[in-house]
Structures are given as structure tokens and as C-alpha cells.
Structure 1
Amino acid sequence: METLTQPVQNSMKPGKWLNSSCKMCIHSCTTRIHVTEDGVINKIEGNPTSPSNNGRLCPKGNAAIMRHYDPARFRTPLRRTNPEKGPGVDPKWEPIGWDEALDLVGRELRKTLDDDPRKLMPAINDFQKLFLWAWPAALGNANYLSSVGNFCGGGYHPMNGFIHAAFAAANDVNYCNYWINNGGGDGFSSHLHTAAQANHVAKARVERNMRVVVIEPRLSIGAAKANEWVPIRPATDRQFALGLAHVLVAEKLYDAKFLKKDTNAPYLVGPDGYFVRNGEGKIYVWDAVDNRARLWDDPELNDFALEGTYTIDGKPCRPAFQKFKDILGDCSPEQMEKLTTVPAATTRRIAREFAKAAQIGSFIEIDGRVLPLRPAAYNYYRGAQGHKYSAMANHAFKLVNFLVGAIDTPGGHVGVTLDDQMQDIRGGFGAIRPGENGMLQTMPHQLHPEVPFSWPPNETHLMGFFPIGVDPGHLTQHTLANADKFGLDYQPDTLLMCHSNPLWNLPGDREQWYDLLRSMRFIVAIDILPNESNEWADVILPSHDLLESWNMTMIEPPHHEGMCLRQPATPPLYDTKSEEEIFYEISERLGLLETWNGILNFVNGFHQKPELLLEPNRKYSDREIAERKGKLWNGQGLDWYVEHGHAVTPRRPDKWYRPWDGMRLHFYLEDIVRARDTLRQKMEAADVPFRHEWEWGDYQPLPTAVPDPVHLEPADFDLYAITFKDIQINFGESIGNPWINDIVFKDPVHTAVLLNPKTAREKRLDDGDVVRIESPYGAIVAKLALSEGVHPDAVCVSNALSRVATQNTGVRHGGGNFNQLLPANLRHTDACSGQPETVARVRLIKLAGVPTDVAAGNSVFGKMSGMGRAH
């Protein structure tokens, strides 16, 4: 037999393997990249040495090759020569040199800064280089034009900060035996490190027979693989969770010891919503044995009362747990069924199964620590919590985990850091810290510090009015359309985008967004490929792609920690630059170099090690920034990371399980009451004219079952439209990629809008019919595919259909952006968290055919014909 002199895998040419990390979504699976002897990348696969993704890689990761070699990539700086702007309008780009482009950008931004820095509208959305998000701070600017962050997790991220002092959360796959997924694809098709999580979840199911229950309106990939799919009417997930909680409390299936010892559930709450305190600010509890009030840390305390009504200093008060029990009195599964359509018997059964699986009272020893073992956890994401009352929805899901003691325990629901680099047990940004009265210090601000209140507002999206929220970029449409009412004494005229597509991700009326962009004096975009938004730019600054650049990150790792290297696999194919170099060059031209380096030192944590500090007036490359981040993590230089690819290990148990041990978790969120009242006082003092219209009821320390306003739309809008993603289009960055298109557009799930056959019959609709989907706020056009895997009240729109005409001919257009079905207003925005409603009430109108304005140049409709039913 002939001996091979070169390694051969999948019939590849000889070459070399390089260690790197993916960036085809916001996360960071480690990879191995094969480069042939002639310098061509011909294979990308997962790195088997990483315990995070274990050599697994999703279709998007493999498709990075196609984006690297995409002929539509921006190849050099470009200047617009066509003064007309509009969707699909040819900018008539003119190639220019970098010095000319950067000088032009510097001059135009300088005009804006000299006039009014608030007139700059930033949209910077690179999650793997989060430090770039801080660049506007160098200008003293807190504006933000995007729905990245708040559209998917407006209430999710602050609530994780309240409960876990973390950015995200995940069920602990290491020990969980009963896994609930509500409105999210974790472990199957989307969200955190999808390929990695799917691998670990599959192992848990094979090795431990972990049971999976999925609650959502559509039979998703996760639901199809689950032990049980529970169809639910859209935007009623909070009520379902409260139905579960009702059963757990009414049948005493809760962990009373955990609630008493590790939470503020026994703390007494007065009629004003605040904890009852003595003159020194210490909180009272009720001694259930001596039947008297004591301070929470009184050494003579016999037992905490969780229930009852008491009087202290003439004021009635109740333990926080009793307050929640009172709310649950109106949340029986039978009552909730009227809204959710989930049979009460199903809710009761799942609650009992969940409690039994939680093994309340059991323990496990890990690394010498004896920890509560709670192998049942309730996980969720955007589909479940992306609604008007988002803060309450997130809190309701957390409280189901609270009741069985499954917060940050082995097998339970555990906090996930945003970027490992900035997280530590007792120090650093995003750290676990003790708060007052024995409680964990809450950390609702995970993306940036709180933006100060101002009147007139300094931000068009009113971020100063959301003291515990995530930037509601969509409100810019609402405030600018009502500038006098909202006190705006300036008009934004400059837009800077970096890897951002606000026209795609923002809800609201498309024409109003188009008018906003037409009003801009100057628009600059830092990007790789054309999209709906950057075709409006005056200047394009082309950046390297992930296979040409350096970075170091580990973004939202569910069960692991440690830096992951991204390194160039080829020299830049075109005349592009790294984002770091671009922002340095702009900063230098604006005289902000020293300020920018000071900000970078803080947001990257370099101030923790003086030897890593950036010098004030130097410009640094992406390679130099990456090396410092690597050294900050484990002291190793870039050569070590190039050899090993990553420093990923399983998360340290002391950081993963109960890192707050000895502190109390926030069962009751007094901080929300305080934030509400403080904001109200500021608005009263400033005589803000719309203060009485503000949605003060959105601020609740415990969730209630009040229906979201989407359920109160006019009755003729009798269906609920939702949008969804699968793994190949998870977190964007997919447009025009032929490998991804090959998967997506051969699947009727992604080429037509899904409707239940029973609903279709009632409306005299059939498979393949063209319909106009109308909400009170906008409309899109689509073809129907009938599927039993859809709740009868739901209309399911794949994210793949949410495109509009652009300069990128590789993007297949749908019948309009789903987000135009949604309003961009305060009524449908959670005043507490900034989360916009992501479900639309709609009606279907059958059309004779595809309208000519939609059909023109629309390849999706051609591909959809004859696709057949979605099963």
C-alpha cells in the first residue's frame, strides 16, 4: 500500500491548519482553518481541543469561507456619487483611497462635534469586539440607533443582572434532568453557542435521559426533538409560567429552606412596595416561632415566616413570598388557560413533574463544596420574553426556578457572563458583590453604565428615562416624529454604523425610517458586505472579515470560560482595515486619541494590570489589543494562543455554582420600585410634560398576569404573527451566503409563511396562496405553507423572509421586513426594560397574486412556488 506523505482529510489539498475562532454569529466557537499551499482557505471545522464546542461547528461556521470569498464584499473605501437615497437605489460608488476617506469622515464628524455632539447617531453592533461600542463615549455621546440588545433581550439582560449579576442565563447541562425551553432554541437551534450547546444537550439526553419540554407557538427544531411540545398562543408565556408557579405554591412543592436562607422572600414589604426598615435602614422579617418582628440578621431569630400579614409601627406588611402568593391567587392553570390555550391539566402535570425532578432537599459535592442539587430548570429567550411587559415576564420565569431552589445550582438555571475577560468572583466589571441588608448587589447594567436622566433629553431614544433598561433604539422614530412633545432641541444629522443594519433590525414604519436616513447630512458605514442600511451611506470604510483579523474573546459562554483567539488565515484579500485601526484613525483626526485609549483601558480591563495599559497617544493594531486581552486572562502571549488556539476550560465551579454564596438573591425586586420612584421624582422636578403618560405600571417588583397590550388590538386582527430563526440564520451575518441560502431556500419552513391547516380552512385559504399580512401598523406580503406544527392562532414568519431590496444581489428578498408589522412607540415598549413588543396582531387578506411592486426582482417568490406543505 502506498504511504501518504501528506495528511489527507476530506480529499483536501496539502496545506496548513491554523487555530482560530468563528464569528458568523455573535458567539465564539473555536475553529481550525485549513489553508492550501497556494493560500486558499478550503476547510473550516470545529477545534476538538475546546471543551466548549468539542470540534462541532454549525452550518454558519462552515459558510465563513463563502463570506470570505464573496464577490459582493467591499474591496476599497467608497464614496457615494448619487445624491438620491432610497431602498434599492444605486449609490454609484466611487473608489477612493484610505487617507481621502478617513479625512472626509474626520471633517464631517468634526462639523457635527463642533455643532452639537448629540447630533451624531451611532449604531455599533460588533459583539465580539464589545469595546468598540464605547467609542461614542469619547465624544460624550450616548445616542444609539439600533435594536440589537433590546429587541431580543431588553428585559432578559437586566433581569439576569438582577438575579445572577450576569448578562445571560442557561440551564446547567452538566446535571439537569428536566429541561424546559420556552420561546428559545438553546441546545437545539439558536441562541448561546448553538453548536456547542447542541452537542452537550444531546449527550445529556443520551447519557442521562434528560427530559425536554418545549413551550412555543411553532414546532421548531427544538420542539420536534423534545419529549413534549406544548403549543401556546403567542405572547402568553408569562401567564403560563405564573400558572406553573401557582401549582408549585398551592401544592407546597417549593423549596422553603432555600427561600428562607438564600433569598429576600421572607423580607417584609410595606404598602408602599418597599421593605420595612428600622431607623438605621435594616430590614425586618417575622419570626414564625416567637410571632414577632426581628431584623433579618438577628441572631435570636428562630425561623423566617414566608406567609402571613403583620403590623410594624402601625403599618401592615407581608413577607415578599406572601405578596407573590397573593398574586398567584388569580393565576390558576384554569384561569391562565383562557389566555394561553394550554390545557390546565397540562400545566399542572408539568409543574408536578418539574418539582419532582428538582429533587428538593438533595445535595452534591463538587470540588469539596457541598451544594444543593436541583436537576430541573426553566430556560427561555426572546420568543417568551420579547413583549411589552418584558421585565415581568423574565421575572416570572426566574421565579419558577426560585420556587424549586434551582438558581445557580448544579442542574439548575445558572447565570452566564457576557465576556469572561471582565468577570471575576469579587472584583472587576460585572463582578459578584455584596449589597445592602445581606443581599447580592444587583447589576442590571451589563452593556454600559447607567445613562443619566436629562431634560431636555440628550438621547433621541430616551435612554436616560430607562434607568434599568437596555437601549430602546427604536424609540428614535417615535420621539423625532413628536420632537416638541419629547423636548428634543436638536435634530440628528450624522450616522456612524459599524457592522450594523438598523433598517433591518428596528421595528416601526419603514417609510419613517427612510425619511430619517434621508434627513442625515452625512452617513459613514464600517462594514464587509452591502446591506439595507449601508446602501444609504456617503462613505464606506471596508473592514477585514473574520478570516483576516485578530481578536480575543469568549462571548456568553454557557458552561465554559477562557479566551478564544481569532487570527488571520490569509492576508487581507482587498484594501481593507481592522475596526481597531479605523476607529483609531478617526479618533486621531478628531483629537480624541488619548480619550479613546483611556476608554479602551477601562472597558477591556487593562487597568487591572498596569503593564497592559495602552499609552495615551499611541495607535494600536487589532493584534496588539488581542495580545493584551490574552495576557490579561492567563498571562500568556500571542504565540501561546496561536499554538493552542484558546484557553477554554469548563467554568470553575466556584464561578458557576452559587458564586454569591452567603448573600441573598432578589426574589422580590425592590430595586425596580426604587428606580420607578426616583425616575418619577426627576421627571416631576423637571416638569416633563409627558410624565403622566409614562407607563409607570410597567415597574413591578413581582410579576402579575396582566395581558400585554398586543392582546388588546382591534378584534379584526385575529391572529398573532411571530418571527423565528434556525441555526443557519441565528444572529444574522448570513445575507447572500450561497451555502446558507442552499439550506434555507430548499426548506418550505423558510420560503413561506406558516399557518395551521385548520385556521386556513376557516379562512378559506390554501397552501401556496398569496396573502397580505396586515397589522395595525404595517403590512407584508407572503405565500402560505400549511403546517400542523403551528398554533392555530399563530402566523409564523421566518427571519429569512425579512429582507427588502438592496444593492447586494445575492440577498433573496421576501415580501417585506417583519418588523414593519410592529410599532415603535411607548405603548408597546416596556418602560422598565426598554424591550419592544415582538409579536404583532394581524389579519390575512388573500390576494390574486404577487403584487407587481413585490414581484419585481423578488427571487424568493419564484423559489417558493410549488414548495409544498411544511410538515
Structure 2
Amino acid sequence: MSGSENAHSGLTRRGFLKATAAGTAASALIGGVSLGAFASELRSGQPENAGDSIYQGICRPNCGQCCAIDVHVRDGKVVKTAMTHIPDSPEVNRICLRGLSHPYRIYDPERIKYPLRRVGERGSGEWERISWDEAAEEIAQKWAEIQEKYGSQAVAQYAISGGYGVFTTNHPVYLRLNNLINGSKITGCVDMANAVGINRVVGWGEGVWSTNDARDVVNAKNLFIWADNWSEAQIQEWRFFCDAIESGVNTIVIDPVYTITASKANKWVSVRPGSDAALILSMIDVIISEGLTDVTFLQEHTVAPFLVKSTDGSFLRQSDLSGTSTAETDKGDELRTFDVHAANRNTGTSAEVESPILVWDEACGALVEVEKAVNPAIEGEFEFNGIPCKTAFTLLVEEVAQYSPEKAAEICDVPADTIRELARLCADGPVTHRMGWGSQSYVNGAHPAHALITIAAITGQIGYPGASCGAADWSASSGWAQSYAPKYGASSSPTLPVLALPEIIESGEYGGEPFALKAMLIHHGNPLCTSVDINRLKRTVFDQLEHIVVVDSVMTDTACYSDLVLPVAQWFEFEDITGGGQTNFYTGFNEKAIEPLHESKTDSDIARLIAEKMGLGEYFTETDAEILDDAMLSSETCQKLGLSYASLKESKLVPQRTGVKIAFEGAKFTTPSGRMEFYVEKPVAFSNYGQDIDVERERLPRFFPPGEAWPENEKYEKYPLTLMTSRTKYQVHGQWFSVRNLRELDPDPTFRINPADARARGVEDGAWAEVFNDRGHCVAKCIYSEAVRPGSVVYMKNWAAKYFKAGSWAEVLSLEFDPVTVNHCFMDALVDVRPWSQED
């Protein structure tokens, strides 16, 4: 309960006092408040938490967890964050170092105190303090001038998800403002290749990366972890991996790097970076050739028996034989209406009424509608009315036949016998496959996911306890604030992927029409740290913008390169609602614990202020409480739970499920056919900006080399090291970079390299060294590690540029991307390494 008394806390960490001392010397522009006023009051033996008020908070960065935490307030100041104890859910009673460090974030000496205007060149670090009124006036004036000159689309908003919540992920007030001015939107293009590869097979209805929830891994007989270091990248799921080990689950880790997770597994397989699809296709070949498929599951729950026309790659339907169109099909035919959401993703169209799909039924030796078949053939070639056809399964068999274990071994550097062993384990259920973010970080990134979910399809290892395949269980409530932002209409200006911006702006065209982008509002994102090839991004995009506004709490790399910086409130300085995460299955209410510090404002108040200056204030009369109430009413999850804003505010935490979630239970899929569509009839791009895609390539899982990080690439002779990323437990996508106590534990940006590779280049262990290519460079500390595969460099992701001796990781990464996934390829880059001898 808000304001409840508790006596179990205290300020005891050595680093807290260090941060206090640092805070007193902070700069005038972006300095923090001294903590000495209350930290110095602590004495040895003082009762812990005496007089503290405790508020319900939700730690909600883009780590995907949304852990419930207690926010301790004393004399109007946050002095501690601690785990919320939930008696009925002991498995979620955890908190990581980031969750414990919130007082350091709130009272960060680098926290922005008031609006700042650039007075020097962009990136020079020269600023002046201005008032909120001046800042809002400038934004309103600049936007009006730019839209008058270049068109409404010339003003855009960029956002990803700086924090999971109604205001911090869905951005309803910012989006309404954008709709009213008809501005463009820019998307972040991050970590979506897995989702594309998996969900085009199973449908998008259960979520973005849907699997059985993490507690279910103990029910598996064989647990495969693909390029996912749970011990650091998915830190809150690590305990479930440990539970699986203790329960006797056979654990297999496939990863180029010998991670902590790999060190605890029963088996570790080191695969060549970017070659996962070839490995998995070979495993499919073994499963099929050794008769390990689940024929009944293939017949009843996949497109295996669907007849694919050789003429155009589409499924054979009744209308193909009758000579009539779908609309002219006889009324006697059974028609199926497909799910709108699934149809939109898989076909790019609205829901359609299709003529029935036909299969060859071996029971009667005739073509029949798929739902009427008794024993549909899953293999074979046919011809009907002059139309040659093959079953979808036959096409899969032909595709994977190219990847015998011996052939695949040459590609992925995994022994042929190991490939056979892995394939047999995949058919020995229950089997769980969990994919991390490694294999999807290449230009070919959707295809390992497509291939892996195909293994689940042909073995029937999905939809029951212990049998699952995917990247994460996402329990977040759906439909937040669906009605608020578009209440007065939606923007007709385009939504642009950030990866395509250089091409769009350089060409001056979008969709065949002249296009200009001249102003950007950036909130809940930091693209000059978390994107790729930022030298080109600055040159082709940011330097062409006439006005850049960044909303943030500290001076990020992007804020440093802007024209206006607006200080935003921290999470515990306003109310918000979260819909749960990967391991915390609660809809949660985040209470306001303290007033916003300094002159910071909430996102909603910032948007309202800009709207008022633009003469749009009449459209922003709802309070934050009313917006949250609207969010609850528009959420399908909250409707099912009978939750309202008032009831959640009272309850604070409400469980979203009872028992362990089983994804696709009962083999219920949300594809147009209602089956697992490992053959995709109508592939589309995830983010469509007018690009062409290779439709034939996307129909089946396939292997093709990464865009750059491959020995056959012409750049390989000059830059022979593959650059791979690793996520750190001390930061989240650029957040927490300035938190002082975490910097004590993790003070410098580092990269790991095999000692043989380092010594060959004269680079010493622990020395600063330069990682470089034609795009840029990065100077970080070298760490010798035998765990790193020779020919590779592993860097820790998303460090702020100021911590490097020179450059940053975002300089050396490649902008090349797959036009289907439109996804950042954080590992698809080649580099070399050399000693750094320059002065600090």
C-alpha cells in the first residue's frame, strides 16, 4: 500500500557514498542533487528503513522482464529499491543489479536538470539553459515552418521502447500529437528477424515471440538453447535453466562462443557465425531421411499435404479446377474466413474468403478438400487439369536434401556425426527450443528461426508441456491505449524504418514521390548509440535535419548530437501501468513515489505543452489517469481479467494466468490455414517501405551467406575477424550507462578475442586496442578469452561513446539489412584489431 511503513532497508553500499561525493561536484548544466543530506544521516547500528514509505514500482527497461520492486522513500527521496515479495509466486521474487540501482539513476549527477539549447556546432557539447516555454515555442515554430515549406511528412517522431508501460512503450500522447500534425513515424528495426521467421509459420496471434513460459523448461526431455546466453542476456530466466539442469533435463547449447550458459550445459556445439540455418536444414534432412517425422502431425496440423502449383507457387484450390475465381466459387463449396491479424501478416491483405485448399487423399485416391481428407498424401508430384503440383512437404524434402551432414559440416563447421546426433535429439520429445538474438543478427537472420520452427512442425514438438519453439514468452497485455492516439484521426504520412532512412533521404524520394525529412523528435530511443554505421547515419540523415529534439533523462549519444534536449521524468516520478514480461506474469501498477526532480516533466506533459504551443491544446484535455483508464478498457488482457484502472490501482499486481502457459496448446495456430505453414504461400516484408523482396526465397527455410561476415566476402582478406555482440548484465540497450555503482563493477568498454588472434596482432591482454574497418573504429579494452572462437571478436553492446578512447561500436557495424525482416544486423560485420598507442 502507498505510504506503508517498513523497517527492513538501509543505505549500506560502499558505492552509494562514492556516488554521493561525485554528485556534489556535478556540472551546473546536467549535474545531480547531492545525496549527502540524507546519506550522511545514517549511522552504524541505525534501524534499517525506519520511517520509510514504500511504493509499488515496476522495473521496466527493454530487458523484457518488468519485475515488481518496492520503492523506498524517506523525506521525499528514493533511498532504496528492493524486491517485491509476492507470496503466491516465489519464482518471480528476484531482482537484478539494475533493479537495485534505481536510486543512482534518479539522483545521477549526469541527470539533465532543465531544457537545453545547442549554441555551438552539433556534437560540440556547448549548451545554454532555456525555459520550458522557450523550448516549446521553438519546437512549435520550427515544425510549423518546416511543414509549411516541405510538407507535413517532413516532421517525424522516432521511438522504440525505453520502458515497458502505457506511456513509455505505447507513447499515446506523443502519437496523438503526431497524428494531429500528420507527421511521419520512424521505427527502430530491432530484434525482429526471429519473430518474422517463426510467426510466418505459426501466425502472429499469440504474440511476437511466443513460447511456453520459462517455467516449462523443466518438463522438456531435451532443451536446446540457440545463441542465447541466459546467464547474462536473459538474466531473469537463468534460474529456470538451472531448474532444468537440476531436474535432469538434457541441455544443449548451440553458440559460436563458450558462454556461461554453455559451460553449464550437457553439450556445447560451436557453430560458425551466421551459418545456423545450414546446420538446422541439415538436421531436418536427417530427421526426414531417418524416418523421425511425426506423420500424423504433419497431415493434420501442417501444410505438408497442401499441393503447391509449380506455375506460381500458390496452393491448389477448388477454383483452380473449376475455372472460377474465388468470388465465383459454387455455394456448395466450403469456404473459410481467415483471421484478420494473421492474414495481414502472412499475405499483406485484409482477411479474405478463399476457395477450399485441395489435397490428394490416398484413402479414396482422389482430390478432396483438406478438411475432408482421411489420409492426405504428404509426398508426391501430381498434375491436375494441366497444372503440375508438388506437396509442400516434397518441396521441403528437396530443399534440405542439399544439406547432407557432410555438406553442412563444410558450411557450419560442425562435425557430420554431431549434426546427426542433434537431429535425433530433436525428435526425442518433449523437446524445447529457445532462440536468442545471435543467429537473427545477420542478413539471413529470419531463416534460422524459420528452419527451427519447421523442425518443431515435422516432429510434432510443439503445443504441449515441454514441447515448444521460439524466442521468448511474452505475457504483456495487448492493445494498450488503442483508442486514445487515433481519436481525432491517424497520420497519413509514412512509417519509415530507420535502416532505410539514408537511402530515402539521399534519393529524396519515397514511394516514387518527392520526399523530405527535416525535423525529428526522438523519445524512448538512442539511435546514435543503438543503431549501426552511425557515421553514415549522421552524414546522410542527422546532418540533413534542420531541427532535432531529444527527450531523455541523461545526455545520451543522440542527445549530444541534437538541437534541443528536454529532461524527462523517471519511472517512479509518475503513474504508469505495465502488462507483464517474460518471467513476471503480472499486470502491474507503477505508483508515483516522488515528484519529478529538477525541471523534468513527464512524457505526456511534454507532448501537451508542445501541442498547446501549436494551437492544439483542445485535443489534450484528458488527464494521465483517464489515459490509463482508456488503456485498461482497450486491453484484451485486462478485459479478460476484469481489470480497470481503479481496481489495478488498488490491487497493484494482478496475475495474468494460472498455471504454466503452453503456447499453441492443442496445435491451434493463427495462420490463414490454421496450420503450421513451413511453406509460406504469400511472403511479405515485415516493414514495407516500397522495397522489392525475393518471394521465392522466402517460401521455405533456406541458407544463404551473411551479407558481410563470411569468409567468401571480398572484404574478408582485409578484415578477417567476425564481429559478434554480447549483452551485458549491467546495461540495457544503452540505459544505465552512467549509473555510478554499476560502473564500479563494469568501468570500461571491452571486447573479447581469442589469445592466438590477439597475439598475432601484437595486442596485449588488458590493453586498449582499436577495432576497425572502412566504416569507422572503436577503441576499447582487449580481454583474452579462450571461450571466443578463433577468427572472432565479441563486443559488449551499447556503451556510450564517451567511455571509449575513440569511436564507438556503432561506427563499425554494417547498415546492410534484409528487405524482408528490415532488421538491424548487429553481428554481420568484418573487422580487424590493432594496438592503440595514442595518448588518452
Q: Bin the TM-score by the shorter chain.
A: 0.7 to 0.9
Determine if the alignment matches structure 1 residue 66 to structure 2 residue 89.
Answer: no
Q: Secondary structure at the match of 1:378?
A: strand
Q: Is the 8 A contact 1:125 1:499 kept in 2?
A: yes
- Inter-CA distance 751–516: structure 2 relative to 1 (3 Å threshold): closer
Q: 1:304 maps to which residue?
A: 376
CA distances 1:374-399 after superposition (whole Å, capped 9, x unpaired): x3121213211122123323211211
**Range that drifts further, 557-566 or 519-528:** 557-566
- Inter-CA distance 751–777: structure 2 relative to 1 (3 Å threshold): closer
CA distances 1:504-562 after superposition (whole Å, capped 9, x unpaired): 1221251551563233221212111111111233222221101212111125x336644
Q: Secondary structure at the match of 2:565?
A: strand
Q: Is the 8 A contact 1:25 1:733 kept in 2?
A: no
CA distance in 1, matches of 2:68, 2:675: 38
CA shift for structure 1 position 105: 1.9
- Inter-CA distance 336–794: structure 2 relative to 1 (3 Å threshold): same
CA distance in 2, matches of 1:381, 1:592: 44
CA shift for structure 1 position 796: 0.8
Q: 1:212 maps to which residue?
A: 251
Q: Secondary structure at the match of 2:452?
A: helix
Q: Secondary structure at the match of 2:738?
A: coil
Q: Secondary structure at the match of 2:801?
A: coil
What are the within-5 Å matches in structure 2 for residues 508-587 of structure 1? 508-510=533-535, 512-514=537-539, 516-555=541-580, 557-558=581-582, 561-587=585-611
Q: 1:808 maps to which residue?
A: none
CA distance in 1, matches of 2:6, 2:824: 55
Q: Is the 8 A contact 2:313 2:681 kept in 1?
A: no
* Letter paired with 1:379: R
CA distance in 2, matches of 1:8, 1:781: 44
Q: Indicate the RMSD between aligned Cα atoms, in angstroms.
A: 3.4
CA distance in 2, matches of 1:676, 1:635: 36
- Inter-CA distance 331–546: structure 2 relative to 1 (3 Å threshold): same
Determine if the alignment matches structure 1 residue 842 to structure 2 residue 830.
Answer: yes
CA shift for structure 1 position 651: 5.5
CA distance in 2, matches of 1:677, 1:646: 34
CA distance in 2, matches of 1:12, 1:645: 25
* Letter paired with 1:397: L
Structure 2 portions without partners, runs of 5+: 11-46, 320-328, 330-354
- Inter-CA distance 157–498: structure 2 relative to 1 (3 Å threshold): farther
Determine if the alignment matches structure 1 residue 84 to structure 2 residue 121.
Answer: yes
CA distance in 1, matches of 2:772, 2:73: 52
- Inter-CA distance 250–677: structure 2 relative to 1 (3 Å threshold): same
**Range that drifts further, 750-759 or 543-552:** 750-759
> 1:139 aligned to 166, 177, 181, which one?
181
CA shift for structure 1 position 273: 1.4
CA shift for structure 1 position 302: 2.5
What are the within-5 Å matches in structure 2 for residues 440-519 of structure 1? 459=494, 472-483=497-508, 487=512, 489-510=514-535, 512-514=537-539, 516-519=541-544
Determine if the alignment matches structure 1 residue 125 to structure 2 residue 160.
Answer: yes
What are the within-5 Å matches in structure 2 for residues 357-376 of structure 1? 358=429, 375-376=430-431
Q: 1:821 maps to which residue?
A: 812
Q: Is the 8 A contact 1:25 1:731 kept in 2?
A: yes
CA distance in 2, matches of 1:516, 1:423: 32
CA distance in 1, matches of 2:733, 2:687: 35
Structure 1 portions without partners, runs of 5+: 359-374, 431-446, 464-470, 595-616, 684-690, 806-811, 856-871
Q: Is the 8 A contact 2:356 2:369 kept in 1?
A: yes
CA distance in 2, matches of 1:843, 1:474: 21
Determine if the alignment matches structure 1 residue 289 to structure 2 residue 363.
Answer: yes
Q: Secondary structure at the match of 1:258?
A: helix
- Inter-CA distance 744–177: structure 2 relative to 1 (3 Å threshold): farther
Q: Is the 8 A contact 1:28 1:554 kept in 2?
A: no
Q: Secondary structure at the match of 2:654?
A: coil
* Letter paired with 2:364: D
- Inter-CA distance 760–245: structure 2 relative to 1 (3 Å threshold): same
CA distance in 2, matches of 1:377, 1:515: 44
CA distance in 2, matches of 1:76, 1:389: 44
Q: Secondary structure at the match of 1:791?
A: coil
Q: 1:441 maps to which residue?
A: none
- Inter-CA distance 786–420: structure 2 relative to 1 (3 Å threshold): closer
* Letter paired with 2:447: M
CA distance in 2, matches of 1:164, 1:736: 40
Determine if the alignment matches structure 1 residue 720 to structure 2 residue 718.
Answer: no
What are the within-5 Å matches in structure 2 for residues 457-856 of structure 1? 459=494, 472-483=497-508, 487=512, 489-510=514-535, 512-514=537-539, 516-555=541-580, 557-558=581-582, 561-591=585-615, 617-630=619-632, 633=638, 634-636=641-643, 638=645, 640-650=647-657, 656-658=663-665, 661=668, 664-673=674-683, 675=684, 694-696=692-694, 699-710=697-708, 711=710, 712-714=712-714, 715-716=716-717, 717-745=719-747, 751-761=749-759, 765-768=763-766, 771-799=769-797, 802-805=799-802, 812-813=803-804, 815-824=806-815, 828-847=816-835, 849-852=836-839, 855=840
Q: 1:114 maps to which residue?
A: 148
Q: 2:396 maps to which residue?
A: 324
Q: Is the 8 A contact 1:214 1:222 kept in 2?
A: yes
Q: Secondary structure at the match of 1:285?
A: strand
> 1:392 aligned to 406, 422, 447, which one?
447
* Letter paired with 1:665: R
CA shift for structure 1 position 790: 0.8
Q: Secondary structure at the match of 1:379?
A: strand
Q: Is the 8 A contact 2:201 2:453 kept in 1?
A: no
> 1:261 aligned to 300, 321, 341, which one?
300
- Inter-CA distance 636–658: structure 2 relative to 1 (3 Å threshold): closer
* Letter paired with 1:204: A
> 1:94 aligned to 110, 123, 129, which one?
129
**Range that drifts further, 640-649 or 650-659:** 650-659
CA distance in 2, matches of 1:677, 1:495: 23
Q: 1:235 maps to which residue?
A: 274
CA distance in 1, matches of 2:105, 2:148: 39
How many percent of aligned residue pairs carry the same amino acid? 20
Q: 2:67 maps to which residue?
A: 30
TM-score, with length taken from structure 2: 0.80
CA distance in 1, matches of 2:783, 2:362: 60
Q: How many residues align?
A: 733
Q: 2:208 maps to which residue?
A: 167
